[in-house]
Amino acid sequence: MILATICCRGGSKGVPGKNIRLLKDKPLIAYTIEAASGSLHINNLIISTDDESIASIAKQYGAAVPFMRPADLATDTASKWPVFIHAVETYEKLSGKSVDYLVDLDVTVPLKIAEDIDGAIELALSDTTADVVITGYEPERNPYFNMMEVDDNGYAQIVKKGDRPIVRRQDAPKVYSLTPAAYVVKKSALYEYEHWSKARCKIYEIPRERAVDIDTEIDFKIVEFLMDHYK
């Protein structure tokens, strides 16, 4: 049984009211609900939120809100991992169904499509040794080539050093920038690990133009530009 969640709290410091802010002609959350509704593998979609306005708008776009998230799981410092556990356990209690995989879909990646979600799910189902499958894309920066960190003495050094300096970006190992378009998590992993980064993870690559994660006002403008030019 594959349960999809859209976890979005009411508070947002970077962009106030971000989750239900209008993007073009629809609230931001609507794009993720629509992408999830096109999935071939999701059995049910629920919203986990502490905010009545978000819940109301989500229902208008056809999403179920079977419970409200507790306040202690909706703070600035709350990790999503316990939010996932709460969503799964509450859903199972209310529905009487047993969840095998949780697929979390972040509102802030509105350009994802159903095929991106299903690709991540299919990778998880085809490789059961993986605990988590995360969407990602190849970034413009690479820690083996053009990313640096400052050491304790104040000197900047390349983040990932090999046996020899890498002088061409093409020679650097491929790395991925994560995008929260979809996190596919085996239910057992929620209890086996304290965080997804401790689990056995795989990456499902999606196109960069569909991976933009909205966190600032500039990101909204970037997404609007992409919507106008990548149809």
CATH (domain of 103): 3.90.550.10
In a domain, 155, yes or no: yes
Question: In this structure, are 170 and 180 located in the same domain?
Answer: no
In a domain, 181, yes or no: yes
Domain total of the chain:
2
Of 33, 26, 12, 209, which is closest to residue 117 (Cα–Cα)? 33
Question: Taking the model in full, what pTM does it have?
Answer: 0.92
Contact 69, 48 (CB under 8 A): yes
Contact 9, 69 (CB under 8 A): yes
Q: Which domain holds residue 151?
A: 140-174
In a domain, 74, yes or no: yes
Residue 159, pLDDT score: 95
Angle at 79 between CA 66 and CA 101, to 5 degrees: 55
Cα–Cα distance, 95 to 89 (Å, whole number): 10
Residue 29, pLDDT score: 97
Alpha helices, DSSP H, located in the chain: 28-37, 52-60, 80-95, 114-126, 187-192, 217-229
In a domain, 230, yes or no: no
Residue 15, pLDDT score: 75
Question: In this structure, are 148 and 105 located in the same domain?
Answer: no
Residue 13, pLDDT score: 65
Contact 110, 223 (CB under 8 A): yes
In a domain, 158, yes or no: yes
Question: In this structure, are 83 and 156 located in the same domain?
Answer: no
Cα–Cα distance, 186 to 170 (Å, whole number): 34
Residue 210, pLDDT score: 95
Question: In this structure, are 104 and 44 located in the same domain?
Answer: yes
Question: In this structure, are 116 and 168 located in the same domain?
Answer: no
In a domain, 219, yes or no: yes
Query: pLDDT in tens for each of the 231 residues of the chain?
Result: 999 999 998 876 667 789 999 999 999 999 999 999 999 999 999 999 999 999 999 999 999 999 999 988 988 777 899 999 999 999 999 999 999 999 999 999 999 999 999 999 999 999 999 999 999 999 999 999 999 999 999 999 999 988 888 998 888 999 999 999 999 999 999 999 999 999 999 999 999 999 999 999 999 999 999 998 876
Please give the structure tokens belonging to residue 192.
């086996």
Question: In this structure, are 149 and 60 located in the same domain?
Answer: no
Residue 231, pLDDT score: 60
In a domain, 75, yes or no: yes
In a domain, 124, yes or no: yes
Report the DSSP pairing between strands 132-137 and 177-186. Answer: antiparallel
